[in-house]
Amino acid sequence: MPHPVYSHIFGTLALIAMMISVSLFAEGILYISYLQTQKARLSEVAESVARELVEIVSVHTLGEGGFTYMQLKIPQTIGGSAYIIKLEELDENRLLVKVCLQHNEIVKVVAVPNFGTGTIHVVNITVIDTSRQIEYGPELYVPCKKPIVFVLRKDNKYYIALGKSISGG
> What are the domain boundaries of the chain?
32-165
Amino acid at 44: E
Q: Are strands 134-137 and 157-165 parallel, antiparallel or unpaired?
A: antiparallel
- 50: pLDDT strictly greater than 80: yes
pTM of the model: 0.79
Q: Name the DSSP class of 117.
A: S
**Cα–Cα distance between 130 and 155 in angstroms, integer?**
22
Polymer length in residues for the chain? 169
Q: What's the pLDDT at 7?
A: 86
Q: What is the predicted pLDDT for the residue at 35?
A: 84
Helical H segments across the chain, by residue range? 4-62
CA–CA–CA angle 65, 144, 32 (5° rounding): 120
Which pLDDT does position 116 carry in this prediction? Answer: 55
DSSP reduced 3-state for 153: strand
Whole-number Å distance between alpha carbons of 72 and 163: 9
DSSP3 helix / strand / coil % (the chain, rounded to 5): 35, 35, 30
Bigger pLDDT: 105 vs 162: 162
The reported pLDDT for the residue numbered 28 is 95
* Better pLDDT: 153 or 140: 140
Amino acid identity at 4: P
Q: pLDDT band at 43, cuts 50/70/90?
A: confident
Q: What percent of the chain has pLDDT over 90?
A: 33
Looking at residue 6, its pLDDT comes to 85
